[in-house]
Amino acid sequence: MKKTFRFIDLFAGIGGFHRALSRLGGECVLAVEIDEDCRKVYEASFPEFDAQNKLKENIREITRGLDNIDDQNFSRDEQDIAKDVPDHDVLCAGFPCQPFSIAGKGLGFSDATRGTLFFDIIQIIKAKKPRYVLLENVRNIAGKRHAGTWKTIINSLRELGYSVPEDPLIIRPHNLIRSEGGAPQVRDRVFITATKDEIDIVQPKSAFSETKENLFYWKIDKYLLPDSKIKNINNYRLRNEEKIWFKAWNYFVENLPSDYMPTPIWVDSLEEVPKINEDMADWRKQYLRKNSEFYNNKKNKKFIDRWLTIDWDPNNELGFKGITVKDFPESRRKFEFQARKMKKNEFKGGKRSLRPLVMQLRQSGLRVKPANYLPALVAITQTSIVGPDVKKGIEDYRRITPYEAAKLQGIEDGDVFCRAGVNDSAAYKQLGNGVNVGVVEYVARNFLDKSILADT
Same-domain check for residues 240 and 175: no
| Catalytically annotated residue among 38, 92, 97, 418 | 97
Judged against a pLDDT cut of 70, whether residue 199 lies above it is answered with no
Report helix angle 240-255 to 298-307, nearest 10: 160
Residues 237 and 212 in one domain: no
Q: Report the percentage of the chain scoring pLDDT > 90.
A: 64
pLDDT over threshold 90, residue 95: no
Tell me, yes or no, whether 332 and 354 share the same domain. yes
What's residue 100's pLDDT? 52
21: nearest Cα among 442, 451, 450: 442
pLDDT given at position 75: 85
- Nearest 5°: phi and psi at 333? -95, 10
**Position 187 in a domain:** yes
Q: Is residue 49 part of a domain?
A: yes
Residue scoring higher pLDDT (206 or 226)? 226
Same domain flag for 273 and 180: no
pLDDT at 420 over 90: yes
Q: Residues 163, 14: one domain?
A: yes
CATH number at residue 22: 3.40.50.150
- The answer to the question of residue 170 being in a domain is yes
* Same domain, yes or no: 349 and 286: yes
Residues 21 and 137 grouped into a single domain: yes
pLDDT for 150 equals 84
Is residue 268, in this structure, part of any structural domain at all?
A: yes
Q: Is residue 349 part of a domain?
A: yes
The backbone torsions φ and ψ at residue 163, rounded to the nearest 5 degrees and listed phi first, read: -85, 125
Where among 399, 414, 441 does a domain terminate?
Answer: 399
Average pLDDT, the chain: 88
Judge whether 10 lies within some domain.
yes
Model confidence at 358, pLDDT cuts 50, 70, 90, reads: very high
Question: Are 15 and 121 part of one and the same domain?
Answer: yes
Candidate from 253-257, 276-280, 345-349, 426-430 with smallest mean pLDDT:
345-349
Q: Are residues 135 and 283 in the same domain?
A: no
Q: Out of 98-107, 111-120, 271-280, 394-403, which region has the weakest mean confidence (pLDDT)?
A: 98-107
Residue 108 pLDDT exceeds 60? no
In a domain, 205, yes or no: yes
Q: Is 246 within 8 Å of 238 (Cβ atoms)?
A: yes
Q: Are residues 110 and 140 in the same domain?
A: yes
pLDDT for 333: 97
Please say if 97 is a catalytic residue: yes
pTM for the predicted model, two decimal places: 0.88
Whether residue 358 is contained in a domain is answered as yes
Say whether 190 sits in a helix, a strand or coil: strand
**235 shares its domain with 250:** yes
Q: How confident is the model at residue 186 (pLDDT cuts 50, 70, 90)?
A: confident
- Residues of the chain with pLDDT > 70, as a percent, come to 91
Residues 299, 220 contacting (CB under 8 angstroms):
no
Distance CA 203, CA 300 (A): 51
Residue 253's domain comprises 225-399
Q: What angle do CA 323, 329, 333 make, to 5 degrees?
A: 85
Interval 21-79: pLDDT, tens: 999 999 999 999 999 999 999 999 999 999 888 999 999 999 998 888 888 778 899 99
Q: Do 330 and 200 share a domain, yes or no?
A: no
pLDDT of 90 over the 90 cut: yes
* Higher per-residue pLDDT: 103 or 437: 437
pLDDT in tens, 129-151: 999 999 998 888 877 777 888 88
Mean pLDDT of 333-356: 87
Residue 243 pLDDT > 60, yes or no? yes
Please give the tally of structural domains in the chain. 2
**What pLDDT was estimated at residue 250?**
96
Q: What pLDDT is recorded for position 103?
A: 42
